[in-house]
């Protein structure tokens, strides 16, 4: 049983539509873009986020929204940020400075430090939802 993908709400950051809860460090987030939704049936009165509609219906119910994807790393073992390496865009290389696997007994139990590569086709991260 995967202890980081359970049907419970404590210590979770995301719960999918099936009720499966994921711990925060087992997840990755990917920004996909922004869009304007003018077919919004929301009764939210937060007018600070509303845009004027050019549809001519006088509704003015357009809202700005962010589209993102959530990914789950099923082999996460509870080592928080110490299980991952990140891509350094400035130096164009993977940065493993946060990896605990290089400086502790982590390698005895785990396979090293996973690249935070949810955007790549051959990634070990699994798509949770968009």
Q: Beta strands 21-22 and 114-115: pairing type?
A: unpaired
Half-sphere exposure of 79 (CA within 13 A, CB side): 24
- Record the tokens describing residue 39, joined without a space: 């077919």
Tens-digit pLDDT string for the chain (130 aa) = 454 444 444 455 667 778 788 888 899 989 999 999 887 665 555 555 555 545 555 556 788 999 999 999 998 888 888 889 999 999 999 998 888 755 455 444 445 688 999 888 899 999 988 8
- Strand-pairing partners, residue 88, are 93
Contact 30, 66 (CB under 8 A): no
Measured between alpha carbons, how far is residue 24 from residues 68, 71, 76 in Å?
16, 11, 10
H runs (alpha helix) in the chain:
106-109
């Amino acid at each position: 049983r995967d202890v980081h993908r359970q049907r419970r709400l404590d210590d979770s950051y995301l719960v999918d539509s099936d009720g499966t809860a994921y711990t925060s460090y087992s997840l990755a987030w990917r920004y996909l873009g922004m869009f304007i939704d003018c077919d919004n049936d929301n009764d939210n009165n937060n007018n600070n986020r509303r845009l004027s509609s050019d549809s001519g219906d006088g509704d003015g119910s357009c809202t700005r929204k962010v589209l993102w994807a959530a990914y789950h790393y099923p082999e996460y073992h509870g080592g928080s940020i110490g299980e991952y390496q990140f891509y350094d865009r400035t130096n164009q290389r993977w940065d493993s400075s946060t990896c605990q696997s290089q400086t502790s007994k982590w390698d005895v139990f785990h396979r090293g430090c996973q690249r935070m590569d949810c955007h790549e086709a051959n990634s070990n991260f699994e798509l949770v939802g968009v």
